[in-house]
Structure 1
Amino acid sequence: MKLTTLTIASAIALTAAVPAFAQTTSAKAGAELTVRTDPTIAAPITGVLALNEEVTIEGCLEDVSWCKVTAADAEGWASGQYLYVEDNANAVPLVDMAGNPEELVIITQTEEGVSQGDQNGAAVATATVGALTAFALGGPVGAIVASGIAGTAVGAAAVEPTPDTLTYVAANPVDTVYLDGEVVVGAIVPAEITTFEVPQPEYRYLNVNNLPVLVDAETGTIVQIIR
């Protein structure tokens, strides 16, 4: 991915696809969502958005894979896949608007230099071994956002991890595995990725994109991010 000096290419005007959102600059997080310094899964973490937390959109990459956001306690880049806007009771994922650049503030590329995000992205490109996939129905955003509107994260742990499990994970760090896509509760780790035992047999753990996570031992679904 090339990322260079950022410029705003167009103003927000969501009238083409969703008239109710004209001049909207805010969205909500459809999952507990990591905010990073640059638009890449390897970038340092600056904060975490709570489920349904409102953010101000400063701009998005053209494919809306990442958006620059500002929230109460976090500022940086968040995965556009898990950001949505509301139209009455309906959630409209930002990625649904990616086909028409007139509908969002688009952050474009220039040729003035390469940012740290480029360097991080280049390092990850050679190490990425798979992709996180959505849990359940409706695709990545549909599943997560639908759960977010309901107030319950899809794929959350049915049984709370015990203190022994959390202590074990902290005391036994493992190398990170880089997977395309942001780490959220409900995403599924590919079956071919190695996971590790914890004291609770219903769970296993691994480190994805520099975040330790517990997964369901049978399905590989992320049930908790250990921060």
Structure 2
Amino acid sequence: MSLKRNLLLAGLALVGSAGLAQAEMSATTASDIEVRSGPGAEFPAVGVATRGSQATLDGCIEGSRWCRVDVNGMRGWVYAQYLSVEQNGERVVVQDHRDDLGIPTITYEETNSIQTGSVQAAQPGPNDQLLGPVGNGGDVVAITPPDEVRDYIDDNPVDTVQLSGNVVVGSTLPQSVVVHRIPDYQYSYVEVNHQPVLVDPGTHRVVYVYQ
């Protein structure tokens, strides 16, 4: 028997598929992941969910890696390979176990109630430089900086750098961007589009984004 539900959240319509046994599932983020307002890289970023965050998983789009979650006060879409759920006492990756986990299948539809101004993103000027793409190969390890690092950043503010693109873990800052050293710490910091970020000073790769 088919069970359907319609959700209208932040301008998104989610329609449950047949055989939906539960409305939502608990999941955990496996790394720092970008949350987007729609199931695609072309949609604006809502924010970044840090590694180990608890999320509510509504379901995933059939034939797609995109899943819809509520996490850290954000509602949006993330990749299934960066979500894990508990199965028989073990954590398994959603993307690899969608069928046997019974992950609900949902669809995405844009509605007339979408508020394009609901995501407040920095608006770089036409002459601003671009953020480099997120690197492939998993060579960027998500970190958990100590509280003292944020205290140092707050006590030593720097001018923000305006760059076109989303500030996410794994993206590369232009070499012309000046990063600032943190005493007795391996990473440097800079403020990009009004967000403090930690950067590998050698590669200019972003390793952490403060929200």
Q: TM-score range by the shorter chain?
A: 0.5 to 0.7
- Name the structure, 1 or 2, with higher relative contact order (CA <8 Å, separation 6+): 1
Distance 1:109-1:91 versus aligned 2 partners, 3 A rule = same
2 CA distance for matches of 1:176 and 1:77? 23
RMSD: 4.7
**Where do 1:73-84 residues align within 5 Å?**
74-80=73-79, 81-84=81-84
Structure 1 residue 29 and structure 2 residue 33: aligned?
Answer: no
CA deviation map 1:73-106 (0-9, x unaligned): 5241142253222334342143x4689xx85432
Aligned CA distance change for structure 1 residues 165 and 27 (closer, same or farther; 3 Å): closer
Secondary structure in 1 matching 2:208:
strand
Contact 2:33/2:50 (<8 A) preserved? yes
- Give the gaps of 5 or more residues in structure 1: 14-21, 138-142, 144-152
Q: Is the contact between residue 26 and residue 55 of structure 1 (CA under 8 Å) also seen in structure 2?
A: yes
> What's the counterpart of residue 142 of structure 2?
154
- C-alpha offsets along residues 114-172 of structure 1, whole Å, 9 cap, x if unaligned? 73469979x99x997542225746xxxxx8xxxxxxxxx7344599637444433x342
Q: Matched residues in 1 for 2:118 and 2:150: separation?
A: 38
Give the aligned partner of residue 222 of structure 1: 206
In the TM superposition, 1:112-131 aligns within 5 A as 113=112, 115-116=114-115, 129-131=131-133
Residue 178 of structure 1: how far off its partner (Å): 1.0
Residues paired across the two proteins, number: 186
User: Secondary structure of the equivalent of 2:149?
Assistant: coil
Q: Percent identity?
A: 22
| Structure 2 CA distance for partners of 1:209 and 1:60, relative to 1, 3 Å | farther
Q: TM-score, length-normalised on structure 2?
A: 0.58
Matches of 1:193 and 1:118, distance apart in 2: 32
Structure 2: segments with no counterpart, 5+ residues: 1-10
CA distance in 1, matches of 2:204, 2:106: 35
Query: Is 1:10 paired with 2:12?
Result: no
Corresponding position of 2:159: 172
Larger strand fraction of residues: 2
**Larger radius of gyration between Structure 1 and Structure 2:** 2
Distance verdict in 2 for CA 1:11–1:53, change over 3 Å: farther
SS in structure 2 at match of 1:131: coil
For residue 135 of structure 2, what is the aligned residue in structure 1?
A: 133
